[in-house]
Amino acid sequence: MNLPEVTQVSFDVERIRQDFPILREKPYGKPLVYLDNAATTQKPRRVVEAISTYYETSHANVHRGIHYLSQRATDAYEHARDIVQRFIGATHREEIIFTRGTTESINLVATSWGGARLSSEDEILVTVFEHHSNIVPWQLVAERTGARIRPAALESDGSFSLERVLDAITERTRIVAIAHVSNVLGIVVPLEPIIEQAHRVGAVVLVDGAQAIAHCPVDVQKLDCDFYAFSGHKVYGPTGIGVLYGKRDLLERMPPYQGGGDMIRRVTFERTTYNDVPYKFEAGTPPIAEAIGLGCAIEYVQQLGIPAVEQWEQQLLDLCIERLECIPGVRLLGPHRERTAVASFVVEGVHPHDIATFLDREGIAVRAGHHCAQPLMDFFGIAAASRISVAMYNTPEEIRRATETLDECIRLLR
């Protein structure tokens, strides 16, 4: 079988790869090919160093002490907020709330905004391709408030239908909670018309940016979304840190999500008053080192430039899809073109876990399973799929190795 060949494209990927020590690992004695980047990305050395330097030179609790180290830690933590603000184009630094990740960011909005605003008359609009993190928090608040969750469908071939989403936005819609990029299909959702339509009926929009943040430019002012959530670990930063962007006036009107230190102004047994945003939503000691690591990761990405990264990854993905299309038995999920960073597929007669295990023995990391998107698996009538997901440090040669090994695996197992 003739698989399309690797073509040379210009991006100094070899230099970038030098920044990621883990890429030199050799699982089972084979060179690592890490193609599970949608699950989590690897970390450049400077992020790891920023975290250890912080612990070695500046660690103390933030916002609490007047001593030297506390001031230093606070400055570094707040500087990370400024970096995030600039990265996503937020108007005010107070609009950036540090959370544990996308999941916590969405839970915060569902609990705080949803708990206060939703009633049995209201609808929460999602899509069938949402990650469980953008479904279950809404189910929890729907149970408490009586609101109804309405999932917008895809076209029968798995391609995105703007019309179906726009049609599903009605006078009853209070919130549209939608992924910017699907973690299974790689669909890039055209957010602007959806946000415009939602605002027309008085609804707000939460964008789950978990799979977009490392791959396409994000400008929350231009989008005019009300909330934008993402995780640090998917954009070359540490685990345990995420971001919730929210428009300031909305955040100011929302009740706190969790109670504890730092989120209060004055506590008495009779009545407690709360701190200003963003601190109202950052109860307890925050993930200080992680925020610093995230700031460093974002600066790293900014130096390379998201448009250059996007272009490189697009070439890798196009090559990957072209080669998958040539392997007998492979069925790609969703559209073959106009997608970003991920390619999910099924192979008739071969279980995705067997594929992932076969590839793993060759040092190639891909993900197999339901990808935390069981309603989407139901839509396709499957239980699981295999997924290749790329990042800026991947190479055409790695795509070649992965697809050739897949071809061999299918020929052996089918």
User: Can you tell me which residue has the tokens 């230093």?
Assistant: 72
Report the C-alpha gap between 352 and 359 in whole angstroms: 11
Residue 340 contacts ligand C6P per CB under 6 A: no
197: contact with ligand C6P by CB under 6 A:
no
Nearer to ligand C6P by C-beta: 73 or 332? 332
225, 320, 372, 409: which one is catalytic? Answer: 372
Q: Is 179 in the site for ligand C6P (CB under 6 A)?
A: yes
Nearer to ligand C6P, 101 or 256 (CB): 101
Long-range contacts of 404-409 (CB under 8 A, 24+ apart): 404/3, 405/358, 405/359, 405/362, 405/364, 406/324, 406/327, 406/330, 406/355, 406/359, 407/1, 407/3, 407/327, 409/350, 409/354, 409/355, 409/358, 409/359
Report in angstroms how near the CB of residue 238 gets to ligand C6P at its nearest: 11
In the three-class reduction of DSSP (H, G, I as helix; E, B as strand; rest coil), residue 41 is classed as coil
The two tokens of residue 99 are 């959370």
The site map against ligand C6P for 24-43 (x = CB under 6 A) is --------------xx----
Query: Which residues between 132 and 161 bind ligand C6P (CB under 6 A)?
Result: 133-134
Residues 345-404 that bind ligand C6P (CB under 6 A): 367, 371-372
Of 323 and 371, nearer to ligand C6P (C-beta) is 371
Q: Nearest approach, Cβ of 124 to ligand C6P (angstroms)?
A: 16
Which of 15-23, 57-65, 100-108, 397-405 is the region at the interface with ligand C6P (rule: CB under 6 A)?
100-108
Peptide bond preceding 278: is omega within 30 degrees of 0, i.e. cis? yes
Q: Could you tell me the CA-to-CA distances from 115 to 106, 144, 283, 284 in Å, in that order?
A: 13, 8, 18, 22
The dihedrals phi and psi of 351, each to the nearest 5 degrees, come to -75, 140
| DSSP result, 125-164 | EEETT--GGGTHHHHHHHHHH--EEEEEPPPTTS---HHH
User: What DSSP designation does 189 have?
Assistant: -
The residue whose two tokens read 């050739």 is 404
Question: Applying CB under 6 A, what is the total number of residues that bind ligand C6P?
Answer: 17
Which phi and psi angles does 99 have, rounded to 5°?
A: -130, -170
* Among 52-60, 79-87, 107-115, 129-137, the segment contacting ligand C6P (CB under 6 A): 129-137
Per CB under 6 A, which of residues 40..79 are in contact with ligand C6P?
Answer: none
HSE toward the beta carbon, residue 83, CA cutoff 13 A: 22
Of 13, 54, 101, 152, which one interacts with ligand C6P (CB under 6 A)?
A: 101
Residue 372 annotated to the active site: yes
Question: Could you count the other beta carbons within 10 Å of the beta carbon of residue 188?
Answer: 19
Among 207, 210, 292, 399, binds ligand C6P (CB under 6 A): 210
Shortest spacing between CB 57 and ligand C6P, in angstroms: 28
- In the complex with ligand C6P, which residue's Cβ is closer, 40 or 53? 40
Stretch in the footprint of ligand C6P (CB under 6 A) among 95-103, 290-298, 308-316, 330-338: 95-103
Taking CB under 6 A as the criterion, the residue among 94, 95, 123, 208 binding ligand C6P is 208
- Measure Cα distances from 28 to 32, 57, 218 in Å: 9, 38, 39
Yes or no: say if 181 and 341 are a contact pair by the CB < 8 Å rule: yes
47, 80, 83, 131: which one binds ligand C6P (CB under 6 A): 131
* Touching ligand C6P, residues 226-285 (CB under 6 A): 231
**Distance (Å, whole) CA 95 – CA 227:** 9
Cβ proximity to ligand C6P, 103 vs 275, nearer residue: 103
Residue 319's Cβ-side half-sphere holds a number of Cα atoms within 13 Å equal to: 24
Span of 70-78, 96-104, 142-150, 346-354 interacting with ligand C6P by CB under 6 A? 96-104
Q: Which is nearer to ligand C6P, 112 or 231 (CB)?
A: 231
Task: Tell whether residue 126 is a contact of ligand C6P (CB under 6 A).
Answer: no
Q: Give the residue with the Cβ less far from ligand C6P, 324 or 342.
A: 342
Tokens of 232: 């640090």
Nearer of residues 102 and 340 to ligand C6P, judged by Cβ: 102
Report the phi/psi class of residue 353: left, alpha or beta, with left for phi > 0 and alpha for psi in -120 to 50.
alpha
Q: Which residues form the catalytic set?
A: 372
Please report, as ranges, the residues that interact with ligand C6P according to CB under 6 A. Answer: 38-39, 101-103, 131, 133-134, 179, 183, 208, 210-211, 231, 367, 371-372
